[in-house]
Amino acid sequence: MSRVGAAVVVALLLVACSSGPPTVTELTVRAAWARTTPENATNGVAYLTITSPTDDRLVGVAVPGDIAAAAELHETMGGAGASPMPNMPDMTTPGSEMTMTPLDSVELPAGTAVVFEPGGKHIMLTGLTGPLLAGAHLPLTLTFASGTTLTVDVVVAVSAPES
């Protein structure tokens, strides 16, 4: 092998060995969506993915009062009797029950995408003032333990948007 060829191989190996997951340099929220609701629904649900560049915690969520009375952090644990919804995992494990638990906060380890999704962590919208209709948008304000607040645009859809 020529010296030039050897140099190219060494350079490629150095690049391959040094490349790892991309470094997260800013707080990001992606794939924010809320499930459509029937006309008479009083509660709704929103999902998203958060990645923080540093260890942090999501400690609060809020929507304007003309959309819902409150927004809350929750987590669903699956079990028997859970009625599957579109894009929601089947939670029919015999001998267990589906439960939904309010969360005071959600840990955000540095550089790790924390996913809020059907059948897991989610944001409950309680006291809806009207139905959530496909194509509508709503602002959702996220509050973090670090003191950062971020308002994201949430699109209303029948199912999760393509990532």
What would the 3-class secondary structure string for 32-79 be? Answer: EEEECCCCCCCEEEEEEEEECCCCEEEEEEECCCCCCCEEEEEEEECC
- CATH no. of 24-157: 2.60.40.1890
Separation CA 109–CA 51 (nearest Å): 8
pLDDT for position 16: 46
Q: What is the pLDDT of residue 14?
A: 44
Model pLDDT, residue 23 = 74
Reading the chain (163 residues) residue by residue, the pLDDT tens digits are 555 444 444 444 444 444 555 676 899 999 999 999 999 999 999 999 999 999 999 999 999 999 999 999 999 986 544 444 444 444 444 555 778 899 999 999 999 999 999 999 999 999 999 999 999 999 999 999 999 999 999 999 999 988 6
CA atoms within 13 A on the CB side of 7: 3
Encoded tokens for 106: 């959600």
pTM for this one?
Answer: 0.77
Whole-number pLDDT of residue 25:
83
